[in-house]
Structure 1
Amino acid sequence: MAEIDIAQKIGGIDSVDAARKVFEKKMDKESLAKIDKIKTEKALIKIANAIVMGDPDAVFVNTGSAEDKQWIRDHALEKGEEKKLPMDGHTIHYDLKEEQGRIVDRTYYIADPEEDISSLAQKMLRNDAVGVVKTHMTGIMRGKTLIVGFYSRGPVGAPASNPAIEASTSAYVLHSAEILYRNFFADFDREVAAGGHFFTNIHSEGKNRPEDLPNARVLMDRKDRTTYSFNCTYAGNTLLLKKGNHRFAVDKAVYEHRGEQLAEHMFITGMQGPGNRQTWCVGAAPSGCGKTTTAMAGNFFVGDDLAQMWIAEDGSIRSINPECGIFGIVEDVNMEGDPLLMTNLRNPGAEVIWTNVLIDDNGVPHWTGHGEPMPDHGMNFQGKWEKGMTDEKGKPIPPSHPNARCTISSTALANYSNRAEDPAGVETRVVTYSGRDSDTMPPVWVARNSDNGVVIGACIVSAATATEVGASGVKRAPWANAPFIPGALGDYMAAQFEFFASPKIAADKRPVMAGLNYFLTDEARGGTTKKLLGEKKDVKVWLSWLERMAHNDVSFIETPIGNLPKYEDLRQLFSDLIDKPYPYELYEKQFSLYIDNIIARIDLQTAAYKKDERIPEKLFTILAEQKKGLEALKAKFGPIVTPKQLEEK
């Protein structure tokens, strides 16, 4: 056991025999027969303490069988957490209108006084957390059924997969878990024995009232690897297998497998290269910044949100997706930019849970940016909706919330790759980092070496998105993983430098590390509109150019920030891959360096990181070298340096 198991401190169950007595009181014969197959004593004691603490009327054990999955679907409908839509297998779920994203202001790491916590996070001292959990979770499950499921965060048998338990009174949460994760009830004991650990997640939505939201909390105990969540419904706060357990996976990689593993906020997709070769790419971006779109641009889809990575014995970097489905933002998803996903959303055949979209009178979902006629009225995340509605501040109420989602299995996608279930992972040759950057960086640039690649990741800056309640403005978003890094940023950064520079990585298997930015605007390059300089579908070209870079098939232009593509290579890729002209004037706008903007970004990062402890000195050295090179370019060419001038240099 951990130093302090909060659930046990409250529940008081400390033996398997005592746990079984709890099960006998709360479970019917079927669930008792199921739980009897689980032999991991720590897991049984943890589940029993969750039961004693929450005091549900009943407990249902979910084995992932067809019958159990159907029971969960039916229970979600009975409780009113979901409603059926006319398309077979489609349902709609609405979160509280005041809770449409991660409650970052009420999310804490449980910590001891001497414990280091990321400077970008909040902590709650362990003794205080015991009181908060006891006050708010004791009896919170009365009148409800607690559902317990056993999941693998990754293909069963993969070196970086993590076993986890999800225990929640929300049928919507467990329904989502069945789509997004691998229920491996039969393999749970074996995998826990092999890895020596499991994550635990305990949640209840409580009475599901707006007035309870100020008391909602997501608490993560790093030492016991247990999350506690209460009085909330949005999946980012309640489906704790996702970002809650991702945090534990980050901790595990940094402090137990340093230089050998990473846990990242990244998509995984495969690009088809010349000669039918497959090249696998991973890419980081903050939530709401295009990870799903980028992942779907690949020819072979593995994942759109999370990645577990390790160095294999053959000297390659391998990646797996902890998930097996998509919990994807739907705003601006349309047939032009996302045809593969749209095909599933608009045609029968796939199970889909919709959240916080507009449902018209015919039961059809609609959302902002779907490229279809919008109905005049319907039901959405805040109740009845009609065109022209405004809120109490006079602000227009959109048809769907900006963080509205669809939950769907990866296997439904036309470009799904069965490599997603390969415990050996996929060999990873391209690593990208991106954010919502409207005015500074070019669409794609490649680091000169792994240390410079880590610095690209460390220096992501992004406009805030609707995924976080109350967030606004432009902010730093290191590695797009910052909200999920529990420990000191310096420790995490050092682990990144060690991993990508590891001598265990074979010279011919080292990945290309690059920045991506497809949010650059016309206005930022001398134009008069806020329109993007390009389209979403262009990302297929940027990834394909990186695929060629990984195999030394293209040349490049050297700059202080990294290597840029040459025009002719991009023009040919635009023509061959997406049948689109690519005028030189657009290339020049996209790839000219706006020196003052980039230097301002470097100064921002330098000043911010100097406030953190234990930041590796090489970050500051690399940023200083880049600034010096940019200043030299400015002295020679002025504040805007074109690709032709860069080639001339």
Structure 2
Amino acid sequence: MLKKNEGIDIVKELGGIQTVEEAQALFEQRLDAEHLARIRRLSHPEVLIKIANAIAMCDPGRVYINTGTDADRAFIRQLALNKGEEAVLAMDGHTIHYDLKEEQGRIIDRTYYIANPDEKISSLANKILRDDARTVVREKMAGIMNGATMVVGLYIRGPVGAAASNPALEITSSAYVSHSAEILYRNAFDDFEKEVERLGHFYTNVHSEGLNRPEDLPNARVFMDRSHRTTYSFNCTYAGNTLLLKKGNHRFSVDKAVYEGKGLELAEHMFITGIDGPDGRVTWVAGAAPSGCGKTTTAMAGNHFVGDDLAQMWIDGNKSVRSINPECGIFGIVEDVNREGDPMLMDRLRNPGSEVIWSNVLIDEDGVPHWKGNGETPPTRGRNFHGPWKKGLVDSGGKEVPISHPNARCTIASSALANYSDMAEAAEGVETRVITYSGRDSDTMPPVWVAKNSAHGVVIGACIVSAATATEVGATGVKRAPWANAPFIPGALGDYMKAQFDFFGNAAIAENKRPIMAGLNYFLTHEARGGSGTKLLGEKKDVKAWLGWLERRAHGDVEAIDTPIGFIPRYEDLKPLFETLIDKAYPKELYERQFSLYIDNILARNDLQTTAYGKEENIPQLLFDVLGEQRDGLIDLKNRFGPVVTPDQLLEG
């Protein structure tokens, strides 16, 4: 069981500030008059002591208290330019940031949970004992900001006043990190202490890029102290390792939901989008997918955009599931973002009027960004994550350097998007009626299927398998990706799974408001369904039809075909949705290829999950019961119809 405030608070010990009086004395010594006046607007003892200790430990040359004004944002952006962390581009408001070419994703091998001696963490994560972490932090972070400007920001992860929002400090010497935070999160300087009092906690994040040299990367670390909800990051620049408001604090939110939520709260790696249904109805969908597996595309396929990456969920007093986005911006992968699949995002990326931070794309000689899969004629030279680039350039290993890194990103405010919904800032959140789980699955599951009940739905999430993406340094192959949240689950998987069963099966949810739970997969290939080649069996935009069907299924407007894995659509319901939602013909032959069950592939996945979870401690028996029930049903189908079962055969019974 996770214990709050267990063991030493490392930054407090290394900083040596124990009281508010000591903190105020340090502020008077280290802050200029303007920023001393700003910090004196704060009074919460724990907040002041945390900030003071970060200053004492890191020893910056200057401290800038960011209050979120336009002037503060302009200062931070200019600081990023002055330091060379960003550079201006041809389009007004656009800048480019390059991470070290060796650090183009999350450094999972150097990311650790700080653990007390008797504390269990996820079997999929690394841990370091508290005393050892203290030694490393003292060695690597003491004085690391000497001569640099420390920017202190006070943010809220979610709308002010929301039940599941989380206040967080971002303390960094990277102006790029602070600039990104200003786009992606809500600066809540004026409301911060009120929210801390209301919610009873806050997160703290301390980061320094150090000297930003390749030779320092082996010494880069990301530490997450679960007991004191404090993160430490140093000698790294990629936002996934440095903008700890994001995935670092998401981990703390997962802990909070699992160990304090009492089956009434979740923190998920999910988009949130609203789908228009008949007669003006809007149905809200939250969906999980591993990074790089289409969350942004799926979120943008909705009519009312709230978020593309993270969701805080809770059961409210009206017996419905509510969701908010902790973020207010997009840190989105741009590879394969183009006008055909992502027209609204492309509009903002290619036309003036929005602030955009680009990272690790190619910038041509005219100051215009380019990336792989944008559907445009690529330049033959420019500068990218590797340095000066021209077509045909190879790296030291003889491998051709692509025009942009597969994990190249754009950072942009959600409010810039044409389908942005004002509900993104509603403290009450959105009533969520559909939950989806997906990954890069080329050969096994159909494009969409709905769980028979909440327990089966939790198992869909537990059993995501996905091709590795470029979001993690060194990741290759196909791997299990439970709930698309596995990298961010700090505690035992069994504890997290129990929280999922408890939440979605909770009697506090009214039956007529209980979300349907579904699998979503638009990565099936031709060769996996009797054809040839690895081209997708369908198009990215088809997800609009899958979401449209789920919207109608959530309200009981359409029937479905019963299978051992859940309910799949009928052809007569999908065909008109393709015509009306995306103006596309949907032949019966394609439907049959997509929705036939390839029994042996599904059984292999079932066995993989049963074996893998069988090695974990304290996995709820309900998971194995559901997998066993599905396996028995699949074997029965195979015995009756053979290894490939068509929808028509399923209808025969």
Residue 230 of structure 2 is matched in structure 1 by: 226
Alignment of 1:130-169 (within 5 A): 130-169=134-173
Task: State how 1:443-462 maps to structure 2 within 5 Å.
Answer: 443-462=447-466
Partner amino acid for 1:148?
A: V
Superposed, 1:94-243 pairs within 5 Å as: 94-243=98-247
Which ranges in structure 2 are unaligned for 5 or more consecutive residues?
none
The answer for the alignment partner of 2:641 in structure 1 is 637
Question: Which residue of the partner structure matches residue 11 of structure 2?
Answer: 7
- How far 1:412 sits from its partner (Å)? 0.2
Amino acid at match of 2:298: T
Match of 2:553 in 1: 549
- What's the TM-score, normalizing by structure 2? 0.99
CA displacement at 1:309 relative to structure 2: 0.2
Amino acid at match of 2:308: D
Partner of 1:43: 47
Is 1:347 paired with 2:351?
yes
- Quote the Cα distance in structure 2 between the aligned partners of 1:461 and 1:25: 54
Post-superposition Cα deviations, 1:32-81, rounded to whole Å, max 9, x if no partner, equal: 11110111111111111111111110100000001111110110000000
Q: Spell out the pairing of 1:172-571 with structure 2 (5 A cutoff).
A: 172-571=176-575
Cα separation, 1, equivalents of 2:648 and 2:390: 52
Distance in 2 (CA, whole Å) between partners of 1:303 and 1:52 is: 37
TM superposition shift of 1:394? 1.7
1:9 to partner: Cα distance? 1.0
Cα deviation code 1:455-510 (max 9, x no counterpart):
00000000000000000000000000000000000000000001001111011101
User: 1:26 deviation in Å?
Assistant: 2.1
Which letter does structure 1 place at the counterpart of 2:508? K
Secondary structure, aligned partner of 1:186:
coil
Aligned-residue offset at 1:392: 1.7
Aligned-partner SS, 2:155: strand
Answer yes or no: is the 8 Å Cα contact 2:169–2:205 preserved in 1: yes
The separation in 2 between residues aligned to 1:157 and 1:87, in whole angstroms, is: 36
Gaps of 5+ in 1: none
Instruction: Count residues in correspondence.
Output: 649
Residue 483 of structure 1 aligns to which amino acid in structure 2? P
Aligned match for 1:587, one of 584, 591, 602: 591
SS in 2 for 1:8: helix
Structure 1 CA distance for aligned equivalents of residues 377 and 581 of structure 2: 30
Q: What is the alpha-carbon distance in structure 2 between the residues aligned to residue 539 and residue 452 of structure 1?
A: 22
DSSP-derived class of the 1:407 partner: strand
Q: Describe the SS at the equivalent of 1:585.
A: helix
Report the Cα distance in structure 1 between the residues aligned to 2:512 and 2:409, rounded to whole angstroms: 40
In the TM superposition, what is the alpha-carbon distance from 1:20 to its structure 2 partner? Answer: 1.5
Q: Does 1:71 align with 2:67?
A: no
One-letter identity of the residue aligned with 1:377: R
CA distance in 2, matches of 1:391, 1:523: 32
Where 2:528 maps in the other structure, the secondary structure is: helix
Conserved 8 A contact 2:7-2:116: no
Secondary structure of the residue aligned to 2:388 is strand
- C-alpha distance in 1 between matches for 2:564 and 2:46: 53
Could you say what secondary structure the match of 2:191 adopts?
helix
Identical aligned pairs, as a percentage? Answer: 71
Q: Distance in 2 between matches of 1:179 and 1:25?
A: 31
Task: Determine if contact 2:441/2:523 at 8 Å carries over to the other structure.
Answer: yes
Matched letter for residue 45 of structure 2 = E
- The CA deviation string for residues 319-376 of structure 1, in whole angstroms up to 9 with x for no partner, is 0000000000000000000000000000000000000000000000000000000001
Q: CA deviation at 1:85?
A: 0.6
Instruction: Report the AA paired with residue 476 of structure 1.
Output: R
Q: Give the C-alpha shift of residue 2 in structure 1.
A: 4.9
Deviation of 1:25 after TM superposition, in Å, equals 2.3
Q: Give, in angstroms, the shift of residue 3 of structure 1.
A: 3.1
Calculate the TM-score normalised by the size of structure 1: 1.00
| C-alpha distance in 2 between matches for 1:492 and 1:531 | 36
Runs of 4 or more, structure 1, over 4 Å off, are none
Matched with 1:17 is: 21
Q: Structure 1 CA distance, aligned partners of 2:368 and 2:572?
A: 45
Residue 575 of structure 1, aligned match among 556, 563, 579 = 579
AA aligned opposite 2:264: E
SS at match of 1:534: coil
Q: Which amino acid aligns with 1:230?
A: F
